[in-house]
């Protein structure tokens, strides 16, 4: 399994015209790192048919496989459309939809039950960081939202400080290193060294071509989850190339 992963989260952006941005990643995507784009669900099927060398994922799923849940999509449905990965617990869903750690855990279990990879997001707010509570918050989120039975091929964890998402603000490399080392240790304590070493840890929050190489050089950073800079191949391609160069 390739160790490095460059994942793009398009959020609520993109129509069929945008699919050319995925095909334009072809050159950058031929390296050592895996490349994943999570477009809006409306584009998953078309993107998965068109994508060469780029995996396609979803941004959320329901906890159940099917039923009376108007407007929701289940993990098996997203798999059927062509998704290989599903993001769970993104801070925008935690904030906009009141998703608790228990909900995120159930969604992650649903992703695994469908045979897909979960990219589970955790991260502190600025208020929590300034109060010196970052590691406590992350420990609580990991304890509450990471299910039992983790394997390295089913779980990716993305550390996304809420204050860094879409703001242009990025923690310094010491802060990123501290958190990633902490996450690896928490996984080791709970699941053992071998599993902890296999789980990939991504950094997310205002990653750009200009800061990617510096972030990818940090120990325990296995790639990035990228929002705004994943929308255009001209922006995301250089990030993928920086990850390839670090692999």
* Catalytic annotation, pick one of 90, 92, 99, 180: 90
Q: Nearer to ligand PEP by C-beta: 160 or 220? A: 160
Token pair belonging to 98: 């009141």
Q: How far is the CB of 228 from ligand PEP (least distance, A)?
A: 3
Q: Nearer to ligand PEP by C-beta: 187 or 226? A: 226
User: CA-CA distance, 229 to 176, in Å (whole number)?
Assistant: 19
Q: How far is the CB of 202 from ligand PEP (least distance, A)?
A: 9
User: CA-CA distance, 158 to 118, in Å (whole number)?
Assistant: 10
Return the closest-CA partner of residue 38 out of 19, 62, 21, 57. Answer: 57
Q: Is the dihedral of CA 163, 207, 180, 156 positive or negative?
A: positive
Active-site residue flag, 90 = yes
Q: Nearer to ligand PEP by C-beta: 29 or 224? A: 224
* Catalytic annotation, pick one of 99, 124, 128, 160: 160
Active-site residue flag, 62 = no
Which residues are near ligand PEP by CB under 6 A? 9, 160, 165-166, 204-207, 225-229
200 sits in which H/E element: strand 200-204
Q: How far is the CB of 204 from ligand PEP (least distance, A)?
A: 4
User: CA-CA distance, 33 to 132, in Å (whole number)?
Assistant: 34
Q: How far is the CB of 167 from ligand PEP (least distance, A)?
A: 7
Write out the catalytic residue numbers: 90, 160
């Amino acid at each position: 399994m390739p160790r490095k992963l460059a994942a793009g989260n398009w959020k609520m952006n993109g129509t069929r015209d945008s699919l050319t941005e995925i095909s334009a990643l072809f050159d950058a995507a031929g390296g050592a790192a895996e490349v994943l784009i999570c477009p809006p669900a409306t584009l998953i099927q078309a993107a998965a048919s068109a994508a060469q060398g780029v995996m396609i994922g979803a941004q959320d799923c329901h906890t159940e496989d099917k039923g009376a849940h108007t407007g929701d999509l289940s993990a098996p449905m997203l798999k059927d459309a062509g998704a290989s990965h599903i993001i769970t617990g993104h801070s925008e869903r935690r904030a906009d939809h009141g998703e608790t750690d228990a909900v995120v855990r159930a969604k992650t279990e649903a992703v695994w039950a469908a045979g897909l990879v979960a990219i589970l997001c955790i991260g502190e707010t600025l208020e929590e960081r300034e109060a010196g509570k970052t590691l406590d918050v992350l420990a609580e989120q990991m304890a509450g939202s990471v299910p039992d039975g983790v394997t390295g091929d089913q779980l990716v964890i993305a550390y996304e400080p809420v204050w860094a998402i879409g703001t242009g603000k990025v923690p310094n490399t010491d802060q990123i290193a501290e958190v990633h080392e902490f996450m690896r240790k928490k996984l080791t304590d709970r699941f053992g060294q071998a599993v902890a070493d296999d789980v990939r840890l991504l950094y997310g929050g205002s990653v750009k071509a200009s800061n990617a190489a510096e972030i990818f050089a940090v120990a325990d950073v296995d790639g990035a989850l990228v929002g705004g800079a994943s929308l255009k191949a001209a922006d995301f391609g250089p990030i993928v190339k920086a990850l390839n160069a670090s692999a």
